[in-house]
Amino acid sequence: MTNVPAVQLDHVWVIYQQRPALEDITLTIPPGRYVGIIGPNGAGKSTLLKVILGLIVPSRGEVRVFGEPPARLRKSGQLLGYLPQKPLSEPRFPVTVLDVVLMGRFGRIGLGRRPGPRDREVALAQLERLKIAHLADRPIGALSGGEQQRVFIARALAVEPRLLVMDEPTISLDACAQDDLFEMVFDLKRELDLTVLVVSHDIGAVARHVEEVVCLNRRLYVHEPPPIGRLALESTFGCSVEYLFHGEIPHRVVRRDE
C-alpha cells in the first residue's frame, strides 16, 4: 500500500451542459505531500476537489484515492476529510464548538446515530490538537474568523482521515492569520501523516508553505515544487501576473522589463 498514490487521476473530464469544467486532467499525488492548487476564478479548482472526494462523477476518465474509487471511501466514512469554502451555512446558528466538531463523526457513525463516548473523545482530541479545547462550549458564532477555521479543520480531522482537502481555507483571514494557518496545517500533515490538498488564491503564501503546486485552468498546466515561474503562472491565468512572494523579505515579482 505504501506505493499506492494518494490521488490518481487519469484523463479526467468533467462536462456541464456541453462545456468542459475540467479537460483531460492526469495527475498523480504521492502520499504524505502538501499540495497547493491555484488558478483563476472558474478554473475548476473546486470541481477538481469534488471529483477527488467522490462528490462529482467525471464525464470521462478514472479517479482513485489510495487505490479505491473515492465514492466508495466517502460512503464508508473513511480516509477523506473536507473543509469546504462555506463550512457552516449560518455561523450564528446556536451550536457549540464541540457540536460542530462532532458533526465530523457522522461520516463514520451515520447521520441517524448519536455520537457516543468514543466520538466525543476524538472530537475533544482534535480541539486539543488545534489548541482550541478551551472553546469547546462556546457558540461557534462567537468566535473570530481564525478560531472558526480551526474549528472547521478540527471537524475535518474528526473523520480521522488520511487525505485532508481544503477549499479556500484562508479566504476570510488577514495575511498573518493566513500564514499561521498554512504553517499549522503543515505541522498537522507531519504529525498525522496526512496528504493535504489546499486551494488558494494567495500564490505567494502557497509557494512558501506547500511542497508541490498544481496550476489549473480547466487544464493542468503545472505540477511541480515551488517556486513557480512567471511563464507558468501566465499560462495558467491567461494574463500578465504579478504577485507578492512571502519570504524572509517579502517582494513583488514583476516582468523583467519593468
* pLDDT for the residue numbered 200: 85
CB 244 within 8 A of CB 254: no
The Cα–Cα gap between 50 and 82 comes to 10
CB 197 within 8 A of CB 29: yes
CB 192 within 8 A of CB 16: no
Please say if the pLDDT value at position 2 is more than 80.
no
Please say if the pLDDT value at position 62 is more than 60.
yes
Please say if the pLDDT value at position 256 is more than 60.
no
The SS3 assignment for 235 reads helix
Q: Is 96 exposed, middle or buried (0-12, 13-18, 19+ CB in 10 A)?
A: middle
| Per-residue confidence band for 120, with pLDDT thresholds at 50, 70 and 90 | very high
**Cell numbers that stand for 37 in this block:** 492548487
What's this model's pTM, rounded to 2 decimal places?
Answer: 0.85
* pLDDT for the residue numbered 19: 92
* pLDDT for the residue numbered 229: 65
Nearest alpha carbon to residue 71 among 86, 102, 50, 87: 50
| Per-residue confidence band for 243, with pLDDT thresholds at 50, 70 and 90 | very low
CA atoms within a 13 Å half-sphere pointing along the CA-CB vector of 117: 0
Q: What is the pLDDT of residues 121-161, one digit of tens each?
A: 999 999 999 999 999 999 998 898 889 999 999 999 999 99
Least confident span in 10-14, 20-24, 233-237: 233-237
CB 119 within 8 A of CB 102: yes
The SS3 assignment for 219 reads strand
**Cell numbers that stand for 180 in this block:** 499561521
Least confident span in 25-39, 40-54, 84-98: 84-98
Mean pLDDT in residue range 59-74: 91
Distance in Å from the first CA to the final CA of the chain:
50
* pLDDT for the residue numbered 127: 96
Contact residues for 229 (Cβ-Cβ < 8 A; gap 6+): none
* pLDDT for the residue numbered 134: 96
The SS3 assignment for 155 reads helix
58-93: b (≥16 Cβ within 10 Å) or e:
beebebbbbeeebeebbeebbbbbbbbeebbeebee
Please say if the pLDDT value at position 113 is more than 70.
yes
The Cα-based distances of 65 to 57, 78, 161 in angstroms read 14, 11, 12
CB 104 within 8 A of CB 159: yes
- Hey, which of 29-33, 78-82, 240-244 has the most confident mean pLDDT? 29-33
Range 247-250 contact pairs with CB under 8 angstroms and sequence separation of 24 or more: 247/208, 250/204
Least confident span in 12-26, 41-55, 152-166, 208-222: 208-222
Q: What is the pLDDT of residues 197-236, one digit of tens each?
A: 999 877 777 778 899 999 899 999 888 887 776 666 666 7
Domains of the chain: 1-79+162-229 (3.40.50.300), 85-160 (no CATH)
